[in-house]
Structure 1
Amino acid sequence: MRFLVTRPQPDCTKTADNIRSAGHEADEAPLLVETSQLPTSFQLYGVAALAVTSRRVVALLARHPEFNQLCGLPAFAVGNSTAEALRIAGVSTVYTAGSNVVALADLIVSQSINGDVLYPCARDRAGDLEGMLAKRGVTCRTVQIYAMERAPALPRDVQIRLRDGHYTAVLIYSRRTGLFFKELLEAAGLGCCLKNQTVIAMSENAAGDLRGAGCLKFPAKPNEQAMLALALADC
């Protein structure tokens, strides 16, 4: 069995290695490529807390010259994975919210922060944390530190395997990635291949632009463990 993994690096390789360790083949074709936009300084005067929504943000912050100062701030994280990444990086006080910025805003407000919240984030992001906090009397400084750009093209070997129907399934992790996969197929003259291709998406939302796939599946729970279990169920 051969799978196509489309998530950004470094997670793309991690997922592909998990599939390989299960005895199958996996090709890596990250459809989103990171472009770092870290500022020279975060201007930390008046900042009393840090809001972080992904492990990618943690990895970028760890390269910044002000990271030691950031480690001294209480950090509010979306999800256990992000929280664990913060602790490993050296942040001593970490609060964990649920899986979205609504839960994050609720958690921040519950702690009565005495100062501003620094929110380093992606250019394209879900939810308006700054707006949510402003409505509840908390000042949030949103700083864009990276962007995820569409890959210029699908790798040539991947195009050939898609054309020839070699993939058991294509793994799609977000609505944006799904849209880009469809666009890159069409750009390569392979748009017709989608109707014969099995696609496994992280969630129903992620599957939104791929309704024309030959077989479209998504797990009951939107996490990678459930997604891979679904992908490997028929192997």
Structure 2
Amino acid sequence: MRMLVTRPEPDGQSSAARLAALGIAASVAPLMQRQTLDCSLPPADGFKAMVLTSANAVRSLVDRNVVARYAHLPVLAVGDRTARDAEVAGFARVSSAAGALGDLVNAIGLSGLGGPLFYPAGKHQSADLAHALAPLGVMVVTARIYDMVAIDALPAPVLADLSHGGIDAVLVYSRRTAEIFARLAGGLDRHSRQNLAMLCMSEAVAEPLLAAHFSRISLADRPDEDAMMSLALGFSRDQTRS
């Protein structure tokens, strides 16, 4: 049993280590690399809180050496991992929606903050937070602080393993990662696509893979790393029994 982790670093190695602790061998092939962008950042004055939907935003704020500028603001994070990273970076008042974007929107609505909110985000976003909060009358100021740049090709050993059955399952955490994988693995034959298990964080993540004729797809119960590890362990056990 060998799985392929497609997450960017350092998360890819973290997931591989967790798989190893479960007795599952894993290769890591990040399909994107983070680049911190030199965009203009607004002053902290006037914001009621900061919103974070990715640990990559925290890392980019650290790269820009601007955490101290915003550290006094309450932070509303989409999930526990992003919240933990924000706390480690130096933000003192951090809360987690413990879910996906919809959970974060609900948490912001219940918080009564009203806005304006500062949202350091990635260049490519699967959903529009400002649009989602508009019906609640909450203004969002978005700064594209990082970009996740797609790799040009899968490493040759990884592509060979995918072609010849050396990898049993691929862990896919985002829709954009799924789109990139479907493109880079476009040369796989029909048999390989039908036999390769795709372990996806959500239905939205799985959609580009289904469109690319990867038919053996499983979904995590929740959009977080713990659920992905449970999915991987369940798949491994099922294969051992079969």
TM-score by length of 2: 0.84
2:236 match? 232
Q: Deviations over 1:130-185 (max 9, x none)?
A: 23434433321111111222211000111111121111212222232222212111
Aligned residues with identical type, % of pairs: 31
Letter of the 1:226 counterpart: S
2:193 match? 194
Q: Are 1:206 and 2:201 matched, yes or no?
A: no
Letter of the 2:217 counterpart: L
Q: Is the 8 A contact 1:185 1:191 kept in 2?
A: no
Distance 1:173 1:92 in 2: 28
Distance 1:102 1:209 in 2: 21
Shift, 1:114, TM fit: 7.2
Q: Is the 8 A contact 1:170 1:199 kept in 2?
A: yes
Distance 2:204 2:115 in 1: 36
Instruction: Give unpaired runs (5+ residues) of structure 2.
Output: none
Distance 2:33 2:179 in 1: 15
SS of residue paired to 1:62: helix
Shift, 1:210, TM fit: 2.5
Q: Is the 8 A contact 1:75 1:91 kept in 2?
A: yes
Change (3 A) 1:176 1:132: closer
- Count of matched residue positions in the alignment of Structure 1 and Structure 2: 233
Structure 1, 101-110 or 192-201: larger mean CA deviation:
101-110
Mapping of 1:116-135 within 5 angstroms?
Answer: 116-135=116-135
1:48 match? 48
Shift, 1:53, TM fit: 1.2
Q: Is the 8 A contact 2:19 2:229 kept in 1?
A: no
Change (3 A) 1:180 1:116: same
Distance 1:199 1:131 in 2: 31
Letter of the 2:204 counterpart: N
Q: Extract structure 1 runs of 4+ deviating beyond 6 A.
A: none
Q: Is the 8 A contact 1:182 1:191 kept in 2?
A: no
Letter of the 1:118 counterpart: F
2:171 match? 171
What root-mean-square deviation, in Å, do the aligned CA atoms of Structure 1 and Structure 2 show? 2.3
Distance 1:123 1:157 in 2: 30
More helix as a share of residues:
2
2:218 match? 217
Q: Is the 8 A contact 2:51 2:76 kept in 1?
A: yes
Change (3 A) 1:163 1:111: closer
SS of residue paired to 1:47: coil
Structure 1, 190-199 or 144-153: larger mean CA deviation:
190-199
2:64 match? 64
Q: Deviations over 1:55-85 (max 9, x none)?
A: 2211221232321121111111112222222
SS of residue paired to 2:204: coil
Distance 2:67 2:111 in 1: 23
Q: Is the 8 A contact 1:101 1:128 kept in 2?
A: no
